[in-house]
Structure 1
């Protein structure tokens, strides 16, 4: 977890909405105060460490892309930018072990709809039966259309149709 001493804004003494110009100004001021050449020999190691942290904070906040990543996700490591965005590891995921599970849960609960039931073999057979019946119906319509267009058969079909109508009329349905 990041402490206040690690926060680049705290190190440079600027606010989070500071302009690039004020960040540069604060960096120069802090660098003058904590430069290893400006301190006594006894404090040189501590000054070098402090100056190194100040330089890293300035590099982070001076680069707009890195600053945005830090502001949004807390990512400070410049090597994270060079990696593939899907291969960020724990540094980019903030400890999420299974990002796919998190997304699945989020989108499952986002719409408020219940999850789809699991498919089984019965569903597959019902799908195959429906597709077969639909195919047979389309094929039979195509056959009837083909038969109607043939001149010799169209007369036979017409004769059969009229005979059926007369039969229905005689039975009292017409």
Structure 2
């Protein structure tokens, strides 16, 4: 390895405390910027050199053992590693020859060894394969979309080779005015995706191969859809179960009744048991959302006893008659509890 003045962290553009994921993302981002196949002429030669350095830095920093040695010994880490191996071989009297962890100097071999791509393309120039980046976008669903699954058209923006300069960033000796000298430009595309039933709020759905396309045979990245389920004034999602507040009149709660209740499909008739209390729940089995195992959640009806906003003279007379009947005091328990807490 022959990286020189700049250290591996500088080449990748990450701090020394970068995580493995930070290093991977930085490598992918930088690789797409300086990929030799996006440039022509003298720029291509320059990018080949930078791309080789980038692969060298990534190969070391993405390997925990090599990164540890690099952090300890700096640019001399290979010599330290070779020394350790030689010492181990001598101690074991193995006497095996061959290289110990170095590069052969051929860029195509380096790329093929560490990235599984095609080390050489057609002709004499290398065909560098780079996997596409993953993309992430938000998708907003209704709770009924979650029940059945839904197809959506997703608009994506990706970086592609500038058509004006062919990726060289230069046109007639000057920076390309179309891409601003970047060699790439933004391009929009629309894809249709199928979002499965039963997805949960604030989770990610992975669509393999729907991300950025790879270069020179590199695998396309993945598309991640971050799901946002819109609030609904009637249905409240609790995992795979659904909750609905169901208003009932006092006499329906006291005497029992058959009433219509909403579900995610069609309203259904339910029985309110006599003597039902406020906030008690009725369970409708299998009327919730589908689970990953193919089962179905439940729908729970939470009873809310409501009063009429206006009553007729006949209704008032009935309420007055009811008030004269003997009943236990519904406030007796909280009054007793308040006295106990103050004593």
Normalised to the residue count of structure 1, the TM-score between the two structures is 0.43
Q: Hey, which of these two has a bigger chunk of helix by percent?
A: 1
Q: Hey, which of these two has a bigger chunk of strand by percent?
A: 2
Look at both structures and tell me which one has the larger radius of gyration over its CA atoms: 1
